[in-house]
Structure formats: C-alpha cells, structure tokens
Amino acid sequence: MNDLIPPYESILERIATAAKRSGRHPDDVTLIAVSKTHGADVVRDAVAAGMTIFGENKVQEAAWKIPLSPSCARWQLIGHLQTNKARQAVRLFETIHSVDSVKLFDTLEQAARQTGARPEIYLEVNVSGELTKFGLTPEKVPALVEHILEQGQALTLTGLMTMAPFDPEPEHARPHFAKLRALRDQLESQFGIALPHLSMGMTGDFEVAVEEGATDVRIGTALFGARPKMTRPTLDVDTTSGIL
Ligand SMILES: *Cc1c(COP(=O)(O)O)cnc(C)c1O
C-alpha cells in the first residue's frame, strides 16, 4: 500500500510548484483522485496515504464502490450523467462536475428538492469544439446559467469543468484552459455571481491547468497507474479488483 505514497506526494509537489509558478497558493488547488475502474481496495489504500476526495465517472460503479470504501472518503461525479441516474447521483456525490443541459439541471434540481441532498454543481463546457466530447459549447453556457439562477433553489452552481483534447504535448491544452477561465470571468461579471471552481487538468496536463487557474484537478493514471480495460464496468471491476 505504501507504493501509493510516493506518487501522491510527488503529484502534490508538482501541483504546489505549478501553483507558485503562477503566483497562486498551493492550497487553492484540490486534488481529486480519480478512482474509476479501480476497486474499493485501491480507495482504502489511497485514504491511508492521505487522499480524501475521489472522482468517479459512472453512477452505477460509484454505487457499489462507495459502501465498500472508508466512510471518510468524499465522492464527486466527473463523468457524463444521464437524467435517469440523477436521483442516485445527488445522494452519492458532494459535487457533480458534468451538468450540460437544462433537462439534466431540472432533473437534478427536482431530485435535490425531493431527497434533501445538496450537491454543488459545475457546468461542463466543451471549449475545444471536439465532437467526441460531452459538454455545452461556450455560446450555450450563459442561457443555462440564467436558467439555473431563475430555477435553482436546492442546487447552487459553483464552477465550470472542461476536458482538453487528448494531446501528448501539455502546452497544447493551455488555450483551452485559458478559455474556460475567461468564460468563468465573463459569467461572473455578466451575472454578478461567484464561480470559484475551475475543474480542469488530468494526468497529462494538470500543471498547465493549475497555471491557468484550475482549482480542481482530476488525476487518475498518475496516482493509480493504467486503468484496467472494461467493457461492462461493474462486473469487470469486481472481477479485476477481487473484492467481491
Ligand atoms: C478519467 C478521467 C480523468 C482522469 O484521467 P487521467 O488521465 O487518468 O488522470 C479526469 N477527468 C475525467 C472527466 C475523466 O473521465
């Protein structure tokens, strides 16, 4: 289990160095350990090593993993969410990074009112225009923000999230991250609201993301190694991790 500690500490150091390089405080950046595809045994080791916040991209996978994991672990949904999982999602996650439509927001809002759960929500923005990506185009974001400000009672919008296109050169991600930050600044002044969270940066590009203002970096591979390949998430994870 101690194998986890050196990568964790070196990632924290790299985050801190990137933060200082850009005149920011290391504490302003939160590491979300992306545990998707890994079993609860990996989460347990990660908690023992000091990690506290975990990112999952599938509601069903989180639903079996969370009860098997230490109760001090906190969970955030970073992957695409379908409306039929909204009710489960508001109960499982403290933050949902992937709100990208009026319909999804309305369903989450209703689920929050009914269940009493109050996750923070971020809007997922497809700043690169890549067709394979989920998320709103930047042009569509203001209308959804307006809708949320009018209709949101239970849920509060606190940030934006994006994924840069896959590219082995981290510098190529910089303009996408800068664009998300500029959009955030524009929304804050247009609507007079605070959007303190910028969820951006993964294993390949988190230092650049921190330099561009990321407050939430979502890191999986650099902490836990390559992910096991899965076709049927729940079954295959249970088998490969040997926990059930
Ligand atoms: C899997 C995933 C990550 C983590 O990716 P790594 O490259 O393994 O760090 C981050 N964000 C989202 C939305 C993901 O689905």
- CATH number (domain holding residue 97): 3.20.20.10
Asked whether residue 110 is assigned to any structural domain, the reply reads: yes
- The C-alpha angle 68, 70, 74, rounded to 5 degrees, equals 105
* Cα of 192 from ligand 1 centre, angstroms: 31
The H-assigned helical ranges of 51-164 are 59-68, 86-92, 102-115, 141-151
Is residue 220 in contact with ligand 1, taking CB distance under 6 Å?
A: yes
**pLDDT tens by residue, the chain, 244 residues:** 455 567 999 999 999 999 999 999 999 999 999 999 999 999 999 999 999 999 999 999 999 999 999 999 999 999 999 999 999 999 999 999 999 999 999 999 999 999 999 999 999 999 999 887 899 999 999 999 999 999 999 999 999 999 999 999 999 999 999 999 999 999 999 999 999 999 999 999 999 999 999 999 999 999 999 997 754 444 444 444 444 3
Is residue 201 in contact with ligand 1, taking CB distance under 6 Å?
A: no
Inter-residue contact 21 to 62 (CB < 8 Å): no
Q: What is the residue range of 217's domain?
A: 5-224
Asked whether residue 21 is assigned to any structural domain, the reply reads: yes
In this structure, what token pair is assigned to residue 4?
């986890």
- Best residue for ligand 1 mutational test, from 202, 205, 207, 230 (most atoms within 8 Å of Cβ): 202
Asked whether residue 136 is assigned to any structural domain, the reply reads: yes
The pTM (predicted TM-score) of the whole model is 0.92
Asked whether residue 232 is assigned to any structural domain, the reply reads: no
Q: Give how many domains the chain has, as a whole number.
A: 1
Asked whether residue 240 is assigned to any structural domain, the reply reads: no
Asked whether residue 96 is assigned to any structural domain, the reply reads: yes
Asked whether residue 236 is assigned to any structural domain, the reply reads: no
What is the number of other CB atoms lying within 10 angstroms of the CB of residue 168?
A: 7
As separate numbers, helices (DSSP H) first and strands (DSSP E) second, the chain gives: 10, 8
Asked whether residue 14 is assigned to any structural domain, the reply reads: yes
